[in-house]
Structure 1
Amino acid sequence: MYQYDEYDRALVRERVAQFRDQIERRLSGELSEEEFLPLRLQNGLYMQKHAYMLRVAIPYGTLSARQLRTLARIARDYDRDYGHFTTRQNIQFNWIELEQVGDILERLAEVEMHAIQTSGNCVRNITTEAFAGVAADELLDPRPLAEILRQWSTVNPEFLYLPRKFKIALCAAQEDRAAVMMHDIGLYLYRDAAGELLLRVMVGGGLGRTPILSQQIREGLPWQHLLSYVEAVLRVYNRHGRRDNKYKARIKILVKALGIEAFAQEVEAEWQQIKDGPAELTAAEYRRVAAAFVAPVYASLDDADLDYGSALARDPGFARWVSRNVRPHRVAGYAAVVLSTKPGSSSPPGDVTSAQMHAIADLAEDCGFGEIRIAHEQNLVLPDVPKADLHGLYQRALSHGLGTANIGLLTDMIVCPGGDYCALANAK
């Protein structure tokens, strides 16, 4: 997984110090709530019905065991002993005291995490599928390009005050497991007959009170123009998106109002002015970022493990769980495992206790390479599990309330915290 460089660390540390000062001025009365509002939104802090909510960024849903344990300790020490994983592969803490936010952000910074641009009218967390880098049907790992987008969009001054929030997702597999068409910009990666990496660009998707699937705006875009084309789309949206009505401010409303052809013409004209500028990506820059995503050292395993086959035959519960919660891996003898956060009425979907987070971190280290993924369905994924370890992992997952065999079923429902917390929600 990606490791912060000195620029990332400096940015996060400076932001923590800056926001500490803003919090102190709010608590002393030097800043009014109206003045504090845009400042806290830039740092992922919402005021909900009962308390502040802090949303922490998990770029493209990838976590280390160390980071997950830090989130567990934050849940225990500052919240009500749980966190809520979201459809943008982030985590929310719903019972935060304002006085504690600086300390929380300091803890996050120690493990290369932050809450920057998890709220407000800006480019939000860049997402991709939870099986990136290990999926059997994957063309290439999309995370390096997602990371390039993250670096480009973080505190980019041109796009910090958009008409409304803006969400981008990438997919590089045959099956779209990133819900690309439900995003403001969706990017499909593929290769042409000559092996060149290209992008299919979709715009205007979104859910909310007006759910709309995105439409194709560009086919065959060379990957080197990823940033400049996304920038062109954002410029057109920034220029024409409505700011008089937040319910009609998303890009999906603009695309529908203009029509996809007219919108595409605006973007093309904008792109022609910037496409050969400094935003054009080079192979050297791609290699620099991709080098951070080093594949684990996999063992040479037999794909037909005898112990695994025996467990399937003698334990019908395990066999059912494998059929629902285990996914093929690109390396023989390994599998990707989905841990369900949805055991039923005993726990709201997406909510995970601090004890469960510690247990998942242990499983990631004992049965993998210490990495965890957050899926947009609000479940957690262990991406690299030897098949020989699956039965033992299943039993441990069951003991922690994480072994429900329901992935893709009706009970694997995607939900937000709802009316229990949010004044905008119309359902609990």
Structure 2
Amino acid sequence: MPVGTKQRLKQSTYEVVELCAGAGGQALGLERAGFEHQLAIELDEHACSTLLMNRPNWDVRTGDVADTQVWKPADFEGVDLLAGGVPCPPFSIAGKQLGASDERDLFAWAVEQVATIRPRALMLENVRGLSTPRFAPYRQRILDRLAVLGYEPFWRLLSASDYGVPQLRPRFVLIALRKEDAPYFSWPSPAEFAPSVGMALFDQMAANGWRHADAWSKIANDVAPTIVGGSKKHGGADLGPTRAKAAWLQLGVDGKGIANEPPARSAPHPLKTPPRLTIEMVSRLQGWNRGEWEFSGRKTAQYRQIGNAFPPPVAQAIGKSIVSAFDHIELSSTSTTQTQADPLYDLLRRHPEGVSENSLLNEIPPATSEQLGKWLSSLALDFNIDIRTVNGERIFKLGDFRGFLGQEDHFRHEYIEQHRSRVS
């Protein structure tokens, strides 16, 4: 932390461009933290309608965020914050963790926009999967690129329940700041309290005079599992796969669908017939306050928008930390980034001419040929691996990153053109 430096003159507001803005969870949180939206871009038409329904004066653009016909990053050079919640399937188990080989991957592309926009800060969030060893090489490439661009990065896995949201919802968040602001950044401190599902939803469950609302509230005495918005390709509005539904059932909730109304006064005891959540209840569990945000579309479309959102209180807490860094408010301690190195990627990166199979096996004990093959197959999802044979021995060379960075000939374009209506 710099010593003896003066605190900057605070600005009343800062400007943000938001990529893949969804239905506005991150947008609302950043607004609460003091950011004004210059632009919000989203592919889903229902979500765009939601944004405009709630903030009619915003510049909201519908379309592929990587399409220069939708927006031109250079037009927003110097904005204070570039933020977004780019697609999660490339890093999720449900999406098969294809990373850079997934046509929907926009994480590296979003980082690349820093080179054009030169924001004071970057904020990107994604699923927990991005924090796992599988994506250590991918993360290292991101860190290396940001260093070249003159930014200091910070990674952290955050849980929504640590910020007063009655839901677990772990998200992996990347913050990157210019060198002059980075020493003043610190991750937000956890809230003192997160309400249980029963506490958060009691008034809504009791809205029609349900006789067993008190009993239900005592059963729902923990925070919720992660709400799953789902994909346009699969099903309607329910609370997730089998394991998630079982967790909801432990909280006295039927996760097989979404109700139109709270339980009636004469509805059965929750141990006999657990109630289903309404759209309003789901939005409360995501951190929206009652009546502060409307959602466009029918029930399934509304549920997807809410379920895929970034909880506003979490975005607000992170946004305030970024504002504090901009204002150069001195800290008692600073944040650092600790990354889990991938030995195979590091070794190949240090030897651009290539490494023999025997050398790889010797340098990465206790690797076997079978394990090495699996590691190389995983690495090849994110990077091209060139293989040649010299004197009967295979030589492996790390090639180019496979991810989309804006290339006109990238395989992503054909996929988006053919499947746009199903991309979510």
* Structure showing greater Rg: 2
TM-score w.r.t. length of structure 2 = 0.25
Higher-helix-fraction structure: 1
TM-score w.r.t. length of structure 1 = 0.24
Which structure has the higher relative contact order (CA within 8 Å, separation 6+)? 2
